[in-house]
Amino acid sequence: MKLSDLKIIVSGGAQGMGRHFAIRLVEAGASVAIGDVNEAGLAETKEAAKGPGKIFAKKIDVSKEDEVATFVDWAHKEMGGLNGLINNAGILRDGLLVKIDRETGAIKTLTKDQWDAVIAVNLTGATMLARDTVKKMAETGQKPGVIVNMSSIARYGNRGQSNYSAAKAALAANTKTWASEFASFGIRVGAVAPGMIETPMTQGMNQKARDALVAAIPVGRIGVPEDIWLAVKFVLECDYFDGRTIDVDGGLSM
C-alpha cells in the first residue's frame, strides 16, 4: 500500500516509537489516529506531526475492551475510513519469576499483578484492537488493509521478562494466525521485533543491565526509532509480505 493511502490507527502514540511512526506517517500523507493513556503526550505528538497527512488523537486504555471498541469507531469516523493498524502500545513490569533477596535471604516472586498488567496491555489489548479493526473493515468492505504488530526479540526468552516475553511471543505467533484468518478480508498482517531501542521505556531500565545489553550489540550502538520505522514502512508498503516477523536488533541475540 502507498503510505498516503493509509487511514491507520497507531496505539501507544504518545511517545517513543509510536510517536515516531505517527510523525513519519503524517509526513507521508497518511491519516493517523493515535491513542494512549497519556493525554499530554498525545497532544505533544499531534503538535509534532507536520505534513500533508492528518492526525487525530484520543485517550485509550487498550486493556479495556469497551474503550477499544469506542476508539475504533471514533477513528473510523474521524478519518473517514480505516485500513490499517500499528499495534504498538506496551508496558514493562519486569522481575524474575522467583528470586532470593540478597539482603534478607527471603524468597520473592513475580506478582500476579505484574503478570496481568503486561498481558492485559501487550497481548490482550493488541488482540482486541486487531479484532475490532478487522471487524470494522469487514463491515465497511474496506480493502486492502494491513496490520503491523510490534513484537520484540524478547520473544525468544529474556531473563526477568516472563510476562513481556510471553506477550511478545504470542503476538509473533498470532501474526501468522491472523494473516491466515484475515486473508479473506484482503488484510495482510506482519510483525516487527525491535531489539534494544532508545525510547522512554528503555531509558527507565537498570543502568547496569542497559549498559551490558548495549555492549553486546554487534553493530556497536543502541537502536533508534527510525531504525524500526524503516521495517514498519516495509511491512506497510510491500503487498507481498504477510504472516512473518522481522527482527531489527543490530544482530543482538538475547
Interatomic CA distance for residues 152 and 194, integer angstroms: 5
pLDDT tens for each residue of 152-173: 999 999 999 999 999 999 999 9
Asked whether the beta carbons of 188 and 181 are under 8 A apart, the reply is no
Residues with active-site annotation: 164
| Helix/strand/coil for 230 | helix
Residue with cell 490507527: 9
Confidence category of residue 212, pLDDT binned at 50, 70, 90:
confident
CA atoms within 13 A on the CB side of 237: 12
pLDDT tens for each residue of 31-64: 999 999 999 999 999 999 999 999 999 999 999 9
Q: Peptide bond before 144: cis, by omega within 30 degrees of 0? A: yes
Mean per-residue pLDDT for 219-243? 97
Pairing of strands 98-100, 84-87: unpaired
The CATH number given to 3-197+224-246 is 3.40.50.720
Nearest CA to 60 among 91, 14, 3? 14
What letter does residue 196 receive in the DSSP assignment? S
pTM equals 0.94
What pLDDT, on the 0 to 100 scale, is given for residue 254? 60
Question: What is the domain partition of the chain in residue ranges?
Answer: 3-197+224-246
Nearest CA to 87 among 72, 73, 77, 70? 72
Interatomic CA distance for residues 143 and 128, integer angstroms: 20
Interatomic CA distance for residues 185 and 190, integer angstroms: 15
